[in-house]
Amino acid sequence: MEIGPVEYIIVGFPENEFKGEIVPELAKLVESGTVRILDLVFITKDADGNTAGMEIDDRDEFAVFDTLEGEVGGIISSDDIEHAAAALPPNSSAALLIWEDAWAAPFAKAVRNAGGVLLEGARIPHELITEALSSLSASD
């Protein structure tokens, strides 16, 4: 099976202010074949700093994620949950999501077939790229 690049993100929700706007947009990415969800876990940290990882079916407010298609489960480990929880302030939560960039699978296969190997890759934070693009347009 060919697989595209796999990424993860940790999205924090300070003060546990989770809203459902993420689900429809993520569903569009899945339905269009842009991404394939491989795993999704929710992490909470209470006011005393106690953390817990939860699956989609563990809490009613996560039920909306149950509508997403994917092969959810088994990739995220307890170490991954601990890593994500370490960055959370007390009384907050996060979603840890792993997905395949399905759109890039043919390109990744072509790179491998050409004998290429990935030497480095990273996601550029939104704030940095918008600042760089803004600087470029200001200099025109």
Pseudo-torsion of CA 120, 124, 129, 130, nearest 10°?
170
User: Is 68 within a domain?
Assistant: yes
The tokens describing 114, both together, are 């050409």
Span 64-113, pLDDT tens digits: 555 566 666 789 999 999 999 998 999 999 989 999 999 999 999 999 99
**What range defines the domain where residue 49 resides?**
6-105
User: Is 129 within a domain?
Assistant: no
Residue-averaged pLDDT of the chain? 85
- Looking at residue 57, its pLDDT comes to 58
User: Is 135 within a domain?
Assistant: no
User: Is 47 within a domain?
Assistant: yes
User: Is 115 within a domain?
Assistant: no
User: Is 58 within a domain?
Assistant: yes
Taking 3-state DSSP, the helix, strand and coil percentages for the chain, each rounded to the nearest 5, stand at 40, 25, 35
User: Is 41 within a domain?
Assistant: yes
Query: In Å, how far are 9, 13, 23, 90 from 20, measured between CA atoms?
Result: 17, 12, 6, 22
> What total number of domains does the chain contain?
1
User: Is 133 within a domain?
Assistant: no
Sign of CA dihedral 44, 51, 100, 110: positive
Q: Which residue has the higher pLDDT, 99 or 23?
A: 99
